[in-house]
Structure 1
């Protein structure tokens, strides 16, 4: 049974909820809107309603969304890699999310389920890199294209030396109930092909190996995950039945449920008890500018990314008390000096406050729609 009865894309107009949010008189919004082109803002928003027969009705709105305009996706690429790793374990005989494995010459045991937990709880880079070693960029990109995500490109690991090298570490899985170890050996990917879209040359300078280079930084060989495909991917995870069978991922219902559970879990619910990992540590919309505990009735299934001055989030937001559900994705660049890789970005005073207030603006509209 299909639960979404139609999808409508409505462009900027006086009735567009995105335009309403961006016209807010709140200073956190106005600061960005006053020079919105410089901030490279893109926004996607999906209203969720219910028909008289109980079917879900989705309406999409977008602002300045362009998959041919590059922005650095940072840790948002961990979302498709986590999903594909879960699928990879599902479809292979004798493997599952909790199968222990070791990587390379290491002796520490890991599981894909624990990697996924850490990716969504605190955006752990090492966990992502391990899943990248299992899958590789060729498999990741080919599989995403098979499922209709044609513009996404995962090219490299994160925050590690030789992040884009073609060779990958050997993996040994230990199923436990079989005698033989399952190995992935001598894995090598194709070379990276540069992206040929607008915006891959950014800024007026950048730092490399401690040296200032007075020229734009080139991102053409880096990861790319356009906002529209982030938005589509979260829909495919939330409601796979909406999409044609060929575009659905081969996830078991158990794995899909566990993925969603990991996405909404707060750090303290995922074994991170340090005060440094406050509830909104990796949840920017609505609560990103506060370190206070989030209310228990708000569930945010999301993935954020921030690096090189770009902040991005895609999220399915649910208020269980007020029957509110919506999907929101947005990206913003905050790099006032136009120098990249200098660790001088306006995350805390412009970027995160903007995304937090943006989430609050949409939540307010949703609440008014329910009254």
Structure 2
């Protein structure tokens, strides 16, 4: 049911004390997905309907080495799912890298998009992206980067496949030409960047790139599958690869590391785990798990202080995705999960009738809890 990948394999075998006479261990992800929990069983009993993909990474340490053991369930870069707001993570990373190449910019530089009166800084935009998944903040970074450069920066570090083709929830989502940024050189002097002309996206040719039986467009129902071929593409493999490089950059060759400073790296990590309440957001609307689906997504209770979740979620078109590094400092465990699920029972897209709260988020939350339980028990 799932596939296991071990890196580096010889060290893992030695660490586990494996011998030919040992009985094979059950794949922990397989064990989790066969649990009697109704929250997981409800999905697993109709697995084809939900298009679930999961990658779970166990993390072990030996001397100065960090060892990753990956377990997969239905992970397939050739099977499409809509990544939604998970694409904001690579946008934040690429923006930090570009800032380093421009002497006049820093994360504290104030700027606004030409034609938009909202002023912000790069640090504020990145914080908003992770704390509450702010679409406008992401789109400002797209204007700064351009789609072509964003894809090239991320792909050049071995994080692939990735194709960011459009902005999110805005009227100019598909424009291939960016809007200029007006940046402040000091309190009174500004400079305006040039527009960036990007390549128009080519239709993706992937399995399940067309989904469902109908969709709404301009308030009218159209019968037939909804075509995602010109949408963003950021599969499980790429999401997980980026997460590993950001959490453990020193364990990748230099050519696969992003050229961001120590201060920028700390800013990014802080943004990834900071809860909305710590940035002043209303806790009634933006509770701790507002954008933390795994382990806590189905509860509005406070997340324990000893558990930190460095993640980026996405939810749109009935698809829920969470890419997370979870660290429990009290019990000294850490692990990674990237998981996606489609919940669209009626098969109609853009009708805002999705089973997020009934099926999707409870599944991801229980998945996280079950894997956390495995981590608490396993020997390192």
Same fold (TM over 0.5): yes
C-alpha distance 68-142 of structure 1, shift in aligned 2 (>3 A)? same
Q: Say whether residues 1:33 and 2:78 are aligned partners.
A: no
Q: Say whether residues 1:273 and 2:271 are aligned partners.
A: no
Equivalent residue number for residue 90 of structure 1: 100
Asked if structure 1 preserves the Cα contact closer than 8 Å seen for 2:54 and 2:340, the reply is yes
Q: Deviations over 1:154-175 (max 9, x none)?
A: 0101111131011221112213
Per-residue deviation, 1:282:
0.2
Equivalent residue number for residue 282 of structure 1: 291
Equivalent residue number for residue 15 of structure 2: none
CA distance in 1, matches of 2:64, 2:124: 36
**What SS does structure 1 have at the residue aligned with 2:139?**
helix
Per-residue deviation, 1:90:
1.9
- TM-score with structure 1 setting the length: 0.94
**What SS does structure 2 have at the residue aligned with 1:286?**
coil
CA distance in 2, matches of 1:63, 1:343: 28
Q: Say whether residues 1:24 and 2:35 are aligned partners.
A: yes
Asked if structure 2 preserves the Cα contact closer than 8 Å seen for 1:8 and 1:60, the reply is no
CA distance in 2, matches of 1:64, 1:7: 22
Per-residue deviation, 1:14:
6.1
- Structure 2: gaps (5+ residues): 1-5, 13-23
Task: Name which of 247, 271, 289 aligns with 1:238.
Answer: 247
Q: Say whether residues 1:309 and 2:314 are aligned partners.
A: no
**What SS does structure 1 have at the residue aligned with 2:322?**
strand
Equivalent residue number for residue 46 of structure 1: 57
CA distance in 2, matches of 1:248, 1:237: 8
Equivalent residue number for residue 254 of structure 1: 263
**What SS does structure 2 have at the residue aligned with 1:37?**
helix
Counting only pairs closer than 5 Å after superposition, residues 1-371 of structure 1 correspond to structure 2 as 6-8=7-9, 15-51=26-62, 53-176=63-186, 181-369=190-378
Asked if structure 1 preserves the Cα contact closer than 8 Å seen for 2:65 and 2:251, the reply is no
Asked if structure 1 preserves the Cα contact closer than 8 Å seen for 2:306 and 2:330, the reply is yes
The alignment of Structure 1 onto Structure 2 pairs a total of residues equal to 363
- Structure 1: gaps (5+ residues): none
Per-residue deviation, 1:54:
4.9
Per-residue deviation, 1:118:
0.4
